[in-house]
Amino acid sequence: MRPGAIIPATAASLTSLTVTMAVMCYLACLAIGALILVDRAVTSWTSGLSREMTVQVRVVRDADIAQEVEKARAVTAAFPGIIEVDILDEKAGEKLLEPWLGTRSLAGLPVPRLIRVVTDTENPPDVTALGQALSQVKGATLDTHQKWESELTRMARALSAVSYAILLLISVSAIAIVIFATRAVLQANRHIVDLLHLVGARDSYIARQIDGRFLRTGLLSGFIGVGLGLFTFLLLGLFGGGSESGVAAASRGLLFSTPSIAIWSYGLLFAVPIAATLICLITARVTLIRRLGVIT
């Protein structure tokens, strides 16, 4: 008997399995893509926060805010480990308050002045000493952005945990689907299996004849899922709202990043067809051996 002839290529169970596994692989690609995008975005944000600090100078009674801002700038610029100090205009502070207070409610309010500080990552400054030095300036406080950095890291861990949980659920669902499809295939071709048993064919021989169908099903569904996933990221990058959209920018970064990062990203995505093939092949083989033993 020719290998693979036991199960026809157009079997309804295999067709349904291919479609369902392709959807599972597509969802797995989306979860992996989300992991890559979150990791890259958080790394970019935290790297910017870690190399920048903000000096806030509040309006204090009996103090000239302009002079205090200049004092804070001078103290910060003279401190070791600081490579750039930039006094932001008054509108910068107002812009930060507009989402909560609006534009009309800011008139007459003592909005603090902000000073942007860029640190040397190779020779970082002593934050504690800098804070003590700025305490001599009336109304001046130092914000190291550590709270925001820790919040971003916590958010990234939570999103990563959710993505891993989704991948685990997809894998368990795929295994269950392959088991049901294998049983359906055997039941639909029960007469052929019984005939092979009558002529002396062993269970391992019958299982090898059917393995090829599930191998091709796993590969085909895996590549379909990866193709749909890449197409989705491409659409998000092209039509996700232009340069102002964070999702669009992240999607473009996933597809058109530097060679080393792109190879790593594509390697994870193209691991999906391999995983789908292994799930189909191993699960189908174990199920076949068990079911054939029951049929015998």
* pLDDT tens figures, 87-100: 887 777 667 766 66
Q: To the nearest 10°, the Cα dihedral for 47, 40, 249, 240?
A: -130
Planar angle of CA 197, 202, 203, nearest 5 degrees:
95
d(CA 20, CA 12) in angstroms, rounded, equals 12
Please give the pLDDT value at position 176: 92
pLDDT of 11 reads 64
**Which two tokens mark 235?**
């659409």
* pTM over 0.85, yes/no: no
d(CA 288, CA 228): 31
Query: Identity (one letter) of the amino acid at 39?
Result: D
pLDDT tens string 113-131? 888 888 887 888 888 888 8
Q: Please state which of the ranges 75-79, 141-145, 262-266 shows the lowest mean pLDDT.
A: 262-266
CA angle 286, 225, 13 (to 5 degrees): 45
Residue 163 to residue 30: CA distance in whole angstroms: 9
Q: By the 8 A CB rule, do 112 and 138 touch?
A: no
- Residue 145's CB is within 10 A of a number of other CB atoms, namely 16
Does the pLDDT value for residue 40 go beyond 80?
no
Task: Tell me the domain boundaries of the chain.
Answer: 12-46+149-295, 59-138
82-87: strand order across its sheet: 82-87, 113-119, 52-57, 140-143
Sign of CA dihedral 141, 142, 148, 153: negative
Q: Report the candidate in 80, 86, 21, 16 with the shortest Cα–Cα distance to residue 223.
A: 21
What pLDDT, on a 0 to 100 scale, did the predictor assign at position 232? 85
Residue 102 pLDDT level (bands cut at 50, 70, 90): low
- Can you give the pLDDT at residue 260? 46
| pLDDT at residue 49 greater than cutoff 90 | no
The amino acid sitting at 245 is: S
Q: At residue 18, does pLDDT exceed 80?
A: yes
